[in-house]
Amino acid sequence: MPGRRPLTPDQHAHIALDARAGVLAIKVVKHRTTVQQAVAELALIAPCRPELIDETVAVVERGRQLRFEDWPPADTTLMLLRRAKRVTLGRVKLVGPDGVSVEQVTLTGKHGERPIQYLRLRHYGHHVGNYRTVDELARHVDLATLVEELPSSGERDAGPAAE
């Protein structure tokens, strides 16, 4: 249509995140995927971008107030997004088989420069590489095998203070 501007990369990521979060919430409720798999997938839609997840959370919360039916399930959608945000903040890793782990890293820029964001791949704790995009990371690890790392039993027992 004339007069319409193309979507920015952030708008595209936000739309993809919103749509996929709803689909994954349905899959979780129907036991077709695990919460940890869903969280990993969402975290890789907007890597190192917790502000995009915050925007999506706000949209889901506004939508929940306007809907008569709760489908996709808003509570599950919000839970998945909040857990994915912890991954994008680097507080929780994604893990895969054979000792693979992926951490989302954001380094603050110097003198007002843009922050440096990358995905750090490790194998049994040894540094493999830092990748700027999910596509670059996908050349080295099967993304479908990644899941949200669950806290160890000691961290679970400690409760919220462990965060």
Q: Is 16 a member of any domain?
A: yes
In a domain, 3, yes or no: no
The pLDDT tens digits of the residues spanning 71-129 come to 889 999 999 999 999 999 999 999 999 999 999 999 987 777 888 999 999 999 999 99
pTM of the model: 0.87
Q: Is 27 inside a domain boundary?
A: yes
Question: How many contiguous H segments (helices) and E segments (strands) does the chain have?
Answer: 6, 5
| Tally of structural domains, the chain | 1
Residue with tokens 């990369």: 9
In a domain, 4, yes or no: no
pLDDT at residue number 161: 42
The span from the CA of 85 to the CA of 97, in Å, is: 23
Beta-strand runs (E) in 3-137: 94-95, 100-107, 116-123, 126-131
**Owning domain of residue 46:** 9-162
Residue 1 covered by a domain? no
Pairwise pLDDT comparison (152 vs 160), residue with the higher score: 152
Taking residues 134-146, what's their average pLDDT?
97
